[in-house]
Amino acid sequence: MVQYIADRKDIDFVLHEQLQVGDLSKYDRYAEFNKKTVDLIVSEARNLAIKEILPTQRLGDQEGCTFDNGNVSVPESFHKAYRLLKDGEWVAMTEDPEWGGQGMPITVAMAASDYFVGANYAFMMYPGLTHGSGKLIQVFGTDKQKELYLEKMYSGEWTGTMMLTEPQAGSDVGALTTSAVKNDDGTYSIIGSKIFISSGEHDLSENIVHAVLARIENAPAGTKGISLFLVPKIWINDDGSLGDFNDVVCTGIEEKMGIHGNVTCSITLGGKGKCRGTLLGEENKGMRAMFLMMNEARLLVGLQGFGCASSAYMYAVDYARERVQGKNLLNMRDKDAPSVPIIQHPEGRRQLLMMKAYIEGMRSLLYYIGWCEDKIKVTHSEEEKDKYQGIIDVLIPIGKGYVTDRAFEVCNHGLQIYGGYGYIKDYPMEQLLRDCRITMLYEGTNGIQAMDLLGRKLGMNKGKPFMDLLGEMGQTLAAARGISGLEDFATKLEEAINKLGEVALHIGTTAFSNKILNAFAFAYPFMEVTGDVIMAWMLLWRSSIAALKLEKGARKKDTAFYEGQLKSAEFFFNSILPVTLGKMKTIRTTNGAAVEISEDSFGG
C-alpha cells in the first residue's frame, strides 16, 4: 500500500510553476526563502509526515481519547509525533522568529501543511488550534500578554484552543451566557459552560490557553456585547511561572463519527468560582477579533478536508492499478482474455479523473489564497493590499465551503473505487470519509459559508472584490487564448464567467428585495457554481503552463504529468462545467418553493 499523502510533483508544480513562489525571495521579508530552501522545507515536512505522523492516523482512530475524572489522555502514539513537530519548530511556521516562528511565506507553509494535515489532521488540530489562539494574542494582546504567552505557544510548549460554542448558542454566538465580572486587580472572573471544544483538554502539554468569548456584566445584548478573554488552564504568574489550577474543568468528551484522535470537550469555567481571565483586546469587541482570525481558521478547515481527499485519491489510484477485476471491455467476448486492473475500465477511469481534476483545482485554490496573503505582506501599495484582501475575503467561503463539499465527494469516489473493501476498516477509505465529514460542519457549516458569500462578500465594497476576482480570471483567459489547443477551454470559461457575473448581479439584487428569502434559498447553489467556475479557472491556468511546456519540448519524465493537466481540464470543461451552467439557469429563476412550502407540508 502506498505510504504517501500528496503528489510531490503536483505540489512543486503549484509552488514553482503556477505561483512562482521563489519570486517572494526578492523581497526582504522572505529573502532567505529561495527555491532551494523552499524545496528543502517541503522535503523535511514530507519526511516527518510520512515517517512519524502518518503511522498515528490509524492508531489514533482505533485508540481514541480517554476521559477520566476531568483528565483526558490522547492516543499514546501522538506524544512522540508532537514532540518531533514541536522540536522542528513547525507549530508557527509563518510567524516572527522572535516569538518562536520560522517566518516563512504562507504559501510554503501551505505546502508543508498539505503533508502534515493529510497524514493525520486529527493530530494536527492540536498545534493548529494552538497557532490560531496564539495569533489572537499576537494581534490583540498587550505587551504583557505577549511576553507571558506567545513564545510558549508558538514553540508548542503550551497549547491553545478557542472557546465559542455553548449548548444554547451554536451558530448563534450572540446567545452565549458565559459571564465575566471585573476584579479589583484587573482580571475577570469567568463563569459559564462551553461545548464542542476541540483540543480543550489533553496531556500533550503542561498548560492549555483558552481564548474564551464571554459577556461582561451590563454589556449590550447579542454579538455587540461579547468580549474575548485569555483563560489558561493553569494560571500564569507575572514572572511567567505556572501558578494554581484555574478552575477550568473538562466535564466530558464526545464520541464522534470521526477524528477520534482529537478530543472534543465540554468544559465548565468557574464551577467553584475560581476561574480568572484577562481581557484580550477591547471590551465588547470580541466578535470583531474572532472574525479577523476566521479566515485562517476556515482556510485550515478547507485544508483538512482537502488533505483527506488528496490521500483518498492517492490510495485510489494505487489500488486501481493493482486490483485485477474483470476483462477489458474490448476483449469481453474472448473467453481466454485475462482480467485487468480496474484502472483500465472506463467507469474507474472516469471516477479517478474526476477526483484528479478536483484535487488539482483545490490544491491550486488553497495555495493561491495563501499566495494572496503573502502578496499583502510584501507589497507597499495600499491599493494592491486592498485588492488581495478583498479577493481573499471572497474566496474564503469557497476555500472552506466548496472545497470541503468536493473533498467529501472525492473521498466518496475513492471508497467506491475500492468497492466493498473500501467499506471495511482494513483499508484507509472508510476512515478518510468519516474524518472528512466534520469539515463540512465546524467553523461555520457550509450553509453558513454560502450565506456569508451571498450576504457579506458578494456586495462588499460595492462588489469590487468580486469583480477583482473575475478580473484575475480574465487575465488567465486572455493568456490561454494565445496558446494552441486551449482555445475551446478559453471560450467555455469565458461563457461561464459571463454567466456567473449575471447570476451574481441577479441574486445579489434579489437578496436586497422583498424576495430575500428566495435569494438565500439559492445561496448554496450560488456557492457551488462560483466554486465550479473557480475550479475551471485554476485548471485553465494549470493547462496554460502545461501546454507551453509541452510545446517547448518538456523532459520525457514530465510529459505524462503535463498531458494529465490538459486531460483534467478537458474533463472538467466538458463533463462538469455544462452542469454548472444549468445550475446557474435555475438560480436565475429564484423559485420560491423552498420558502413557500408550509411546515406541515413536510410531513412527519
* pLDDT surpassing 80 at residue 296: yes
- Grid coordinates representing 592 are 420560491
Residues 6+ apart with CB under 8 A from 566: 485, 543, 546, 547, 550
What is 8-150's CATH superfamily? Acyl-CoA dehydrogenase/oxidase, N-terminal domain (1.10.540.10)
Is residue 449 within 8 Å of 393, Cβ to Cβ?
Answer: no
Q: 160-284: which CATH topology? A: Butyryl-CoA Dehydrogenase, subunit A; domain 2 (2.40.110)
* Helix, strand, coil percentages for the chain (3-state, nearest 5): 65, 10, 25
* Residue 66 to residue 263: CA distance in whole angstroms: 9
What one-character-per-residue DSSP string does 7-53 give? Answer: -HHHHHIIIIIIS-GGGGGGSGGGTT--HHHHHHHHHHHHHHIIIII
Is residue 390 within 8 Å of 36, Cβ to Cβ?
Answer: no
Mean pLDDT of 449-463: 96
- Active site (annotated) includes residue 360: no
Helix (H, G, I), strand (E, B) or coil at 369: helix
The residues pairing with 249 across neighbouring beta strands, listed in sequence order, are: 268
Q: Say how many CA atoms lie within 13 Å of 537 toward its Cβ.
A: 23
* pLDDT surpassing 90 at residue 245: yes
Closest by CA to 355, choosing from 327, 319, 398, 317, is 317
Is residue 343 within 8 Å of 321, Cβ to Cβ?
Answer: yes
pLDDT for res 553: 87
Kind of pairing between the strands at 208-216 and 159-163: parallel
- Rounded to the nearest angstrom, the gap between the alpha carbon of residue 523 and the centroid of all alpha carbons in its chain is 20
Closest by CA to 360, choosing from 392, 415, 314, is 314
Is residue 136 within 8 Å of 108, Cβ to Cβ?
Answer: no
Helix ranges (H only) for 227-345 are 286-322
90 phi/psi in degrees, rounded to 5:
-95, -10
* Angle ∠(252,258,261) on CA atoms, nearest 5: 65
Burial class (CB in 10 A: 0-12, 13-18, 19+), 326: middle
pLDDT > 90 fraction of the chain, expressed in percent and rounded: 92
269 phi/psi in degrees, rounded to 5:
-105, 125
Mean pLDDT of 286-308: 91
When pLDDT is cut at 50, 70 and 90, the band that residue 604 belongs to is: confident
Q: In this structure, which amino acid lies at residue 245?
A: F
Residues 6+ apart with CB under 8 A from 264: 196, 197, 198, 200, 253, 254, 256
- Grid coordinates representing 73 are 489522555
Helix (H, G, I), strand (E, B) or coil at 231: strand
Residues 6+ apart with CB under 8 A from 495: 581
- Grid coordinates representing 373 are 496573503
Tell me the torsion sign for CA atoms 285, 288, 293, 297.
positive
83-118 as b/e: b if 16+ CB within 10 A: eebbeeebbbbbbeeebbbbbbbbbbbbbbbbbbbb
Q: In this structure, which amino acid lies at residue 566?
A: L
* pLDDT surpassing 60 at residue 2: no
Whether this model's pTM surpasses 0.85: yes
pLDDT tens column, 10-62 = 999 999 999 999 999 999 999 999 999 999 999 999 999 999 999 999 999 99
* Residue 154 to residue 99: CA distance in whole angstroms: 7
pLDDT for res 294: 83
* Residue 310 to residue 549: CA distance in whole angstroms: 25
For the chain, what is the mean pLDDT?
95
Q: State the maximum Cα–Cα separation within the chain, in Å, rounded to a whole number.
A: 89
- Grid coordinates representing 262 are 482529537
pLDDT for res 39: 98
* pLDDT surpassing 90 at residue 173: no
Burial class (CB in 10 A: 0-12, 13-18, 19+), 237: exposed
- Grid coordinates representing 104 are 516563512
Neighbours of 558 (CB within 10 A): 14
* Residue 465 to residue 459: CA distance in whole angstroms: 8
pLDDT for res 170: 62
pLDDT for res 49: 97
Is residue 530 within 8 Å of 398, Cβ to Cβ?
Answer: yes
Tell me the torsion sign for CA atoms 506, 512, 518, 524.
positive
Closest by CA to 272, choosing from 252, 250, 253, 248, is 248
pLDDT for res 167: 86
pLDDT tens column, 474-511 = 999 999 999 999 999 999 999 999 999 999 999 999 99
Q: Which of 151, 201, 443, 528 is an active site residue?
A: 443
First to last CA, the chain: 47
When pLDDT is cut at 50, 70 and 90, the band that residue 168 belongs to is: confident
* pLDDT surpassing 80 at residue 95: yes
What one-character-per-residue DSSP string does 407-462 give? Answer: HHHHHHHHHHHHGGGGGSTTSSHHHHHHHHHGGGTSSS-HHHHHHHIIIIITTGGG
pLDDT tens column, 248-275 = 999 999 999 999 999 999 999 999 999 9
pLDDT for res 292: 77
* Angle ∠(324,328,331) on CA atoms, nearest 5: 135
Neighbours of 166 (CB within 10 A): 19
- Residue in this structure with the C-alpha cell 503511522, named with its chain if needed: 55
